[in-house]
Structure 1
């Protein structure tokens, strides 16, 4: 009997982890405009939800089932957000302000495949170089590292645009130049050095 209770707790726990993870991913897909994939995922998600909730409600007098349901829900949120980070859907726009108005900053970022629009601006302490950079979310960290290598004191603000339409920016980024550049860098690092 104790073994059956343990199996029931494990099933409820796992079902809720899967359900909430799928729920989190579905919400993100919906927000990103991928409604058909989100609808397909929600069909599976609701079946899992009903089964898990049914198991808990059928055995409501067993407190361990309720605890397993709650713990599975919490862990599902964590796992769902980790899955979303790995998927890294969509784009971000990064606004950078550098106290060094040297145009080479912009060129170095463009050479890595990022779409950049730059202009001169004036701050409290003088001339600045301001840039707006578009990147797929999966390259966000690489972009921050690149900016930090060029100008560790650069002021950075990023946000996720709701809609992107037209322009050189989108074509440049969609061509995969960033990925191509990163693959080339990995190949360079893997080459044995000449002695």
Structure 2
């Protein structure tokens, strides 16, 4: 007894619609899990990443086995590739919603950053404030390390208090008291100036 008889589905409908659809959704799941697993690995969450890796591999094996059983069916190949692409998109959307990890925000502004410094103090943020020099004259440089979930309100504060400021955001792998290690493995000290914590 074959699968179409077990499920009581027409063989053509099974081969050209149902199986490609299942492959498509399986690929969305395994690639989304892969995206999250990589992000969690970069953030040092090895146990959760390991568990996700198990499920990712299991789903992938089911999808690839169906591909090999239906090599003559171009719909399965399209479903496989489309599911992969959609899985990347879905994984990134999920990761944005979860806002996993920490980021360092750098702000460079020609105008005084007193309002932004007060915002950091009110929110009990650790920050560093430095005087710098650009091609156009003196600038203020601020650094802060925050949870990604706090990034939105931080960017809003930058736009409110220093709308002409240049800012950059970069993910960090590890944050400890006074030390930041970025994705490239570079380490630097973060000094808390201006009373920020």
| Aligned counterparts of 2:137 and 2:171: Cα–Cα separation in 1 | 29
> In the alignment, which of 24, 37, 41 is matched to residue 35 of structure 2?
24
| TM-aligned CA distance change 1:103 to 1:120, over 3 Å | farther
Bigger fraction of residues in strand = 2
| TM-aligned CA distance change 1:102 to 1:4, over 3 Å | closer
Q: CA deviation at 1:102?
A: 5.1
Question: Would the aligned equivalents of 1:22 and 1:41 in 2 still touch at CA under 8 Å?
Answer: yes
Are residues 1:4 and 2:14 paired? yes
Structure 2 regions of 5+ residues with no counterpart? 1-10, 181-197
Question: Would the aligned equivalents of 2:102 and 2:173 in 1 still touch at CA under 8 Å?
Answer: no
Are residues 1:157 and 2:143 paired? no
Question: Would the aligned equivalents of 2:43 and 2:174 in 1 still touch at CA under 8 Å?
Answer: no
RMSD: 2.0
Q: TM-score, normalised to structure 2's length?
A: 0.78
| Aligned counterparts of 2:47 and 2:55: Cα–Cα separation in 1 | 13
Structure 1 regions of 5+ residues with no counterpart? 170-195
- The answer for the alignment partner of 2:77 in structure 1 is 66
- The answer for the alignment partner of 1:77 in structure 2 is 88
Q: TM-score, normalised to structure 1's length?
A: 0.79
| Aligned counterparts of 1:37 and 1:52: Cα–Cα separation in 2 | 23
Are residues 1:120 and 2:131 paired? yes
| Aligned counterparts of 1:32 and 1:108: Cα–Cα separation in 2 | 27
Bigger fraction of residues in helix = 1
